[in-house]
Amino acid sequence: MTYVSLSLFDLAGAAVFIFINGALSLGFRLGMERSLAVSTMRMCVQLGAIGFVLKFIFAQTSPAWTVGLALIMILVAGREIMKRQETRFSGFWTYGLGTASLLFVGTIGTVFGVGLLIGPDPWYSPRYIIPVLGMILGNTMTGISLGLDTLTGAARLQRAAIEGRIALGATRFEALQVILRRALRTGMMPIINAMAASGIVSLPGMMTGQILSGVDPVEATKYQLLIMFLIAGGTALGVLIAVLGAAWRLTDERHRLRLDRLQRGKR
């Protein structure tokens, strides 16, 4: 069995549902028409461009091209984390913290999953490296964004309580313990919900794509389980690194709360 090729006419037919979204926005005066149009065009351009880029890189099977594209993906994902922060750190920290966490988690998860478990020949084959890295980054990015936003926002709102704990002798991490837990829970909740719903409520995207392309459903399930395990571990580790790094940055060696290191960001 082989996959069924889609024509531009097929894609145009599916795009009718985007116009339904626009009609609902107009009908209920939601004011989302412009955002919807820009997001749709951006998605089409980005996916169209990456399709041709991947076709070129897959044909090269070059470690240099693979690493180059992987770094671009990580840098762009780091920028998305920064943009989603309502309360940001000042200076390079607002970009560097999330990006460094993604770089570490993405590298560990992808090398472990592809090089050790899947084991293609060669192990750095971009046909495996890039999709796996992309799925890890996409989910970890969401978790880190939520975790950081929760931590910095709560630190600003609960300043008096945190400084009160420090005044009573608590260390900086003890004083931030409550909001640290909340940030970690918030960051990990999306992947936990996704795992709980997989298989019964929804078929994950990778599994669906493999089935549509003719892969045996059992084999597609195995790959999906592998990816979900990598994503879950990567998200947890990424959120932990980012949140602890943010907590360290929000305080100093004298265990003082340093909200002056934050700036009011824009969504």
Question: Rounded distance, CA 61 to CA 125, Å?
Answer: 6
Domain identity same for 110 and 223 = yes
pLDDT at 266: 46
Give the residues across from 251 on adjacent strands: 257
**Strand boundaries in the chain, DSSP class E:** 87-89, 262-264
Domain identity same for 28 and 80 = no
Q: Are 249 and 93 in contact (CB under 8 A)?
A: yes
Domain identity same for 101 and 47 = no
Q: Which of 60, 78, 95 is the last residue of a domain?
A: 60
Domain identity same for 31 and 68 = no
pLDDT at 123: 85
Domain identity same for 46 and 78 = no
Domain identity same for 107 and 26 = no
Domain identity same for 221 and 179 = yes
Question: Rounded distance, CA 155 to CA 182, Å?
Answer: 11
Domain identity same for 111 and 28 = no
Kindly give, in sequence order, each residue whose CB lies less than 8 Å from that of residue 236, ignoring residues fewer than 6 positions away: 143, 188, 191
Domain identity same for 52 and 73 = no
Domain containing 199 equals: 63-264
Domain count, the chain: 2
Q: Give the pLDDT of the chain (267 residues) as one tens digit per residue.
A: 567 888 989 999 999 999 999 999 999 999 999 999 999 999 999 999 999 999 999 988 889 999 999 999 999 999 999 988 888 898 888 899 999 999 999 999 999 999 999 999 888 899 999 999 999 999 999 999 999 999 999 999 999 999 999 999 999 999 999 999 999 999 999 999 989 888 877 778 888 888 888 889 999 999 999 999 999 999 999 999 999 999 999 999 998 999 999 986 444
Q: Are 97 and 246 in contact (CB under 8 A)?
A: yes
* pLDDT single digits (tens) 165-206: 999 999 999 999 999 999 999 999 999 998 988 887 777 888
Q: Which of 60, 82, 107 is the last residue of a domain?
A: 60
pLDDT at 265: 47
Handedness of CA 93, 94, 96, 97 (dihedral sign): positive
Domain identity same for 38 and 80 = no
pLDDT at 264: 61
Domain identity same for 12 and 85 = no
Q: Which of 41, 60, 79 is the last residue of a domain?
A: 60
Q: Is 125 helix (H, G, I), strand (E, B) or coil?
A: coil
Domain identity same for 154 and 52 = no
pLDDT at 1: 52
pLDDT at 38: 94
